[in-house]
Amino acid sequence: MRNVKVMTGIVSILIGLILVSIPFYHEWKTGKEIDRLTQAVNLISNEASAQVMKEEFEYAKDVIWLEIPDIDLNQMVLPETTEYNLNVGLTQIKPNQIPGEGNFTIAGHRGYRGDRFFRNLPDVAIGATVRLIADNKTYTYEITSSQIIEPTQTDILLDEEGKNEITLITCTVDGHKRIALKGLLIT
């Protein structure tokens, strides 16, 4: 009977260790992909050495950078929302968006830990500055609202005539709702 209890305890500990290690493995794997993508973006700006990486990451040439100084965020925004792209960075929700025109929409996972992705997005205050950098031009937005919405509330992504804004979206901690920040273009 004692041997059964010992074996049950050992198995329980092993299962616990495996379950605890899964997020760390995922974080490590995602970090490697982000490093690889960042390297591709950097190489694309160097014409002589870019060709090999450019073929592998053709979309990397269209990367836009998002800066939110209040939460020390400086990350690339990939041009298309796919499962793979969401696992390695922030993504544009609508295709063919142009910074400074209409409602520029960005999605991102909260991430497991650290400051990657939109983990700290809920901490961005009304009035905070958000910058998009594309083609060596900076577009500055001021956050005007922060709200929790249902995943089905997609009207928040629509363009409003004559209004140039940004919408940043991530999940709530439990994943059932979304946190949406909106900002107006100021420069």
Measuring CA to CA, which residue among 137, 72, 68 is closest to residue 106?
Answer: 68
Active site residues: 109, 171
CA distance readout (Å), 81 to 14, 108, 127: 37, 9, 27
Task: Of 83, 81, 45, 80, give the one whose Cα is nearest residue 61.
Answer: 45
Q: Look up tokens 């544009």; give the residue.
A: 92
The DSSP bridge pattern shows strands 90-92 and 129-134 to be unpaired
CA neighbor of 157 nearest in space, from 143, 142, 167? 167
State residue 178 phi and psi, 5-degree precision: -125, 150
